[in-house]
């Protein structure tokens, strides 16, 4: 079980130690995921970066709390919590990219950088499914995207456990509507898979229009969960960008 910062089942988890003065990275999970989805990336970045991961309500040690179904409300709640943390770059995959972006928009000071992965830019988002979906449709969608062991999806007990979280997260992202506004005063670094069925590369790279400064885009072989196969390279990109941001600052 990940360690909760400050004790108790709060919003933030940390898995691995970091060097004193290491740059900070705050990670936002994708739909259906918990904080542990970033355990591998945290391990790869440790101890060169201090990685903290958001734990959304409704999962793991927060399983007794309602699953958020409104992304704007989730971003409001998270922004109030993040405002009390030391400055950190943001990293979000899929739904987590949108959550990270919306939290950043709500802060008085933007993060040093925003890393977005596996998601269309907000201005190019479209409604991808009709809510609500049946259990079979949700499972088929999860199988299509990968990222979850197929053997687990064949387990009725596992499916019963995750389905409320998946359904709530899908509702949150399906009903999200981008409201145009000024770009963030920070660079946006885009990560995309060249065979992602949800996110055409062109639509992913358009994220850079929502930031300022020295943004960048990186395309990897793979589908929606290309992160799993390119963790070392992605960690290098993150560390390089964090170091560049410090030097510029």
Is residue 131 within 8 A of residue 63, CB to CB? The reply is no
Which candidate in 94, 121, 125, 155 is catalytic?
94
94 is catalytic: yes
Tell me which residues are annotated as active site. 94
């Amino acid at each position: 079980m990940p360690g909760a910062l400050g004790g108790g089942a709060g919003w933030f988890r940390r898995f691995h130690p970091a060097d004193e003065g290491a740059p900070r990275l705050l990670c936002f999970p994708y739909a259906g995921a918990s904080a542990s989805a970033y355990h591998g990336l945290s391990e790869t970045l440790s101890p060169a970066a201090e990685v903290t991961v958001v734990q959304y309500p409704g999962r793991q040690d927060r399983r007794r709390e309602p699953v958020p179904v409104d992304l704007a409300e989730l971003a409001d709640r998270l922004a109030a919590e993040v405002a009390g943390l030391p400055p950190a770059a943001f990293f979000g995959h899929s739904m987590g990219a949108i959550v990270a972006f919306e939290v950043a928009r709500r802060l008085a000071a933007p993060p040093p950088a925003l890393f977005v992965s596996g998601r269309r830019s907000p201005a190019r988002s479209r409604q991808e499914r009709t809510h609500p979906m049946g259990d079979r449709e949700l499972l088929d969608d999860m199988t299509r995207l990968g990222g979850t062991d197929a053997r687990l999806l064949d387990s009725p007990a596992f499916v019963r456990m995750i389905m409320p979280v998946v359904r709530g997260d899908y509702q949150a992202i399906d009903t999200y509507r981008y409201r145009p506004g000024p770009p963030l005063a920070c660079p946006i670094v885009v990560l995309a898979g060249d065979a992602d069925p949800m996110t055409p590369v062109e639509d992913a790279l358009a994220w850079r229009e929502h930031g300022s400064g020295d943004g960048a885009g990186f395309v990897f072989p793979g589908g929606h969960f290309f992160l799993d196969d390119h963790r070392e390279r992605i960690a290098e990109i993150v560390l390089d960008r964090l170091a560049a941001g410090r030097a510029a600052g």
